[in-house]
Amino acid sequence: MSLPLEGLTAIVTGAGRGLGRAEALELARLGAAVVVNDYGQSGRDGSGASSATPAEEVAAEIRAAGGRAVAHTGDVADHEQARLLVELAVTEFGKLDVLVNNAGILRDRMVFSMSEDEWDSVIRVHLKGHFNTTRFASAHWRARSKAAGGPVYGRIVNTSSEAFLAGSAGQPNYAAAKGGIVGLTTSSALALAKYGVTANVICPRARTRMTEDVFAGFAEPDEGLDPLAPEHVAPLVGYLAAPAAGHVNGQLIVVHGGMVAIVERPRVAAKFDTKQDAFSHDELDALLTPYYADRPKGETFAAVEVLGLKHG
């Protein structure tokens, strides 16, 4: 019996540690050849010298288990390095079928204290990094589709965050980047569907180097799998990469601890029409002030309420 991803090639960015590592191992377990990308900086804020070790160790782990893997140690936020990453997949394994974007950094600060560099660096790695790889992967699939005269196999799985859904007071750069990734994903889903490519985005919750402060108060269990283990997230990525998910496109899915929640796109909660040629201040005051006064304080997207998330 063949494996779900047998014969397919996948790229996983930020795959030297945490979520990316778990995702790369899962895709390999399902039969894919994997290009393991990681720039390898030691600091979760993007500080420290780059290192080939994290990517090479994961690639070696895959090969030791009988899979196929190669390491790539470039910075996906660099346009040329992203091009070379896609080129490596095609050169090494003949084609690219799956792109999993996971690379990211954190530089937390309140919005009134954040520096320009703290903003730019996080947007660069998360949002530009997702765009760069998507740009070259999608060009590869488009060219293959034109040559084949029809759809080809292509899967994009992007990584957003509940910080985008619920807000995160000390992470305006991160929340904005993750919101941008959702927009990039839905746009890509529409643009690439005719070529046979799907694009979906996940909001994972997991204990990694990136979230060590967030989950510091949640101790790992003495026995059994940690509810916050990245291994809870990886199977969803494997599913979205597989043929079975061919009709899943443009979706936002929250995943953690044995739970998957499909998030609806925002819906209109209320609608008001002016009784004049245009709204006046007084008319808007009469309509909107009572409406918001009757709603619970701090209420945000319905998805947040459904998932039971807590935020400031």
Find all residues with CB under 8 Å of 26, minimum gap 6, and list them. 231, 234, 235, 237, 238
* CA proximity to 237, closest of 218, 225, 251: 251
**Which active-site residues does the annotation give?**
161, 174, 178
Q: How many CA atoms lie within 13 A of 267 on its CB side?
A: 5
Query: How far apart are the C-alpha atoms of 243 and 235, rounded to whole Å?
Result: 14
Tokens standing for 246? 């061919």
Taken in order 206, 208, 212, 218, is the CA torsion positive or negative?
A: positive
* CA proximity to 95, closest of 104, 86, 106: 86
Q: Where are the beta strands (DSSP E) in the chain?
A: 9-12, 33-37, 69-72, 98-100, 154-159, 197-204, 252-256, 259-263
CB 261 within 8 A of CB 306: yes
Find all residues with CB under 8 Å of 9, minimum gap 6, and list them. 32, 33, 34, 35, 89, 92, 93, 94, 95, 96, 97, 98
Query: How far apart are the C-alpha atoms of 80 and 134, rounded to whole Å?
Result: 13
Neighbours of 167 (CB within 10 A): 17
**Cα(first)–Cα(last) distance of the chain, in Å?**
50
